[in-house]
Structure 1
Amino acid sequence: MDHYSLKYLLDQRLTTIPQHHWVGKLLGFDFTVEYKAGTTNMVADALSRWDTKDAAVGMVLAVSGPWFDFISRLCHAQATDLALVAVHDKLTADTRTAPWAITDGLVTFEGRLYIPPSSPLL
């Protein structure tokens, strides 16, 4: 698909609602559109032709995603807080009751995860 017309986006008559929408968003930026034909723009050409037989020869796929380490950091924070370790021990020995509890190995207060005041998670 050739997007040469985008070079003149701000110079043409806006006839559709999506055009008004996108031009309204773009007006807040200082930019210029430079057109490169698909034959000279090798990076874009490679991305648009990834499903051809030649492209599949050297294909590398990478999957990335967010890394949520909150629970492991909370476990560490609870294990290093001396007062909370004492509460954990009393809960394990059944000498302390509600509103404190142990849920999935973590200390909870009134049904919510308890974050020690000394923790950087606050």
Structure 2
Amino acid sequence: MSKLKYMFGAGLVATSLIAAGTSSFAGEIRDDLKEIRQDRKEIRADRKEIRQRKDRRELRKDIRTGASPAEIAADKQEIKADRQEIKLDRKELKNDRIELKGDRRELRKDRRELRRDLKDNLGN
């Protein structure tokens, strides 16, 4: 009878550990995926802006119409700022992907350890 109680208790503990551990890591991974989606959305918006060539069109128009050198310089600066923003967004996306990969790796490792612990506890 005591062996049955021990197995039942170990099963109960294991189930609670699995539920608690999985949900916390799942929330972390869900947050990372949300960040990646937001970063992708920002990059798409930036690419769309460049694809439309709004800033470049404005620069060409200013050059054709004989705009002041200050206005032309401002347009060039705006184009440069857009490119830097895209570069930063890509870097942020890369870092988020690396973080997500690490979280998934940690989750797999914890699940393996939990399975080993359960196997050891139930085997004894």
TM range (shorter): under 0.3
| Structure exhibiting the larger radius of gyration computed from Cα positions | 1
Of Structure 1 and Structure 2, the greater helix share is in: 2
**More strand per residue: 1 or 2?**
1
- TM-score (norm. length: structure 1): 0.28
